[in-house]
Amino acid sequence: MKNIKSILFSLAIVGILFTCVLVYSEIQHNKMVRPPEGKVTLDEFLSIKQRICCTNNVVIDGKPHTLVLGRFDTYFSALPSGPPAYIFDEQNVLVAWCGDTGNNSTFVKKWFPPDLTHAECAQKRRTEK
């Protein structure tokens, strides 16, 4: 009986440690994709964020915007289902962002043109190099 208790205790400790690693990974991933605080221009953003996959000029509600997609990176055990995305208005000021576009269909429907997918954006970037 004492042996079973020590096994269960060990399993509980391993489970708690595993959960801590998962939470820490999510926090670190969110720090990686979060834009700087305050008013951020496109030029400032591009000079700070090095993990950019592509940029596209898009028209949203009849106004020009720039859509910037980050690289689809993971941090240890954080598993985002889509890349981060950042939207800049016609004055090149950040107006919206999403850390995981795979989990936020509302953001994608509002800010992505219907004819542009993540894969197409990434492919466009590769062919422009």
User: Greater confidence, 123 or 14?
Assistant: 14
Q: What's the full length of the chain, in residues?
A: 129
pTM, full prediction: 0.74
Where are any strands of DSSP class E within the chain? 52-60, 63-70, 85-88, 94-98
What is the overall mean pLDDT for the chain?
81
pLDDT tens digits, one per residue of 51-75: 777 788 888 888 999 999 887 766 6
User: 54 and 125 in contact (C-beta within 8 Å)?
Assistant: yes
Strands 94-98 and 63-70: unpaired
pLDDT tens digits, one per residue of 38-53: 888 998 888 887 677 7
The count of structural domains within the chain is 1
* Domain enclosing residue 88, as ranges: 2-128
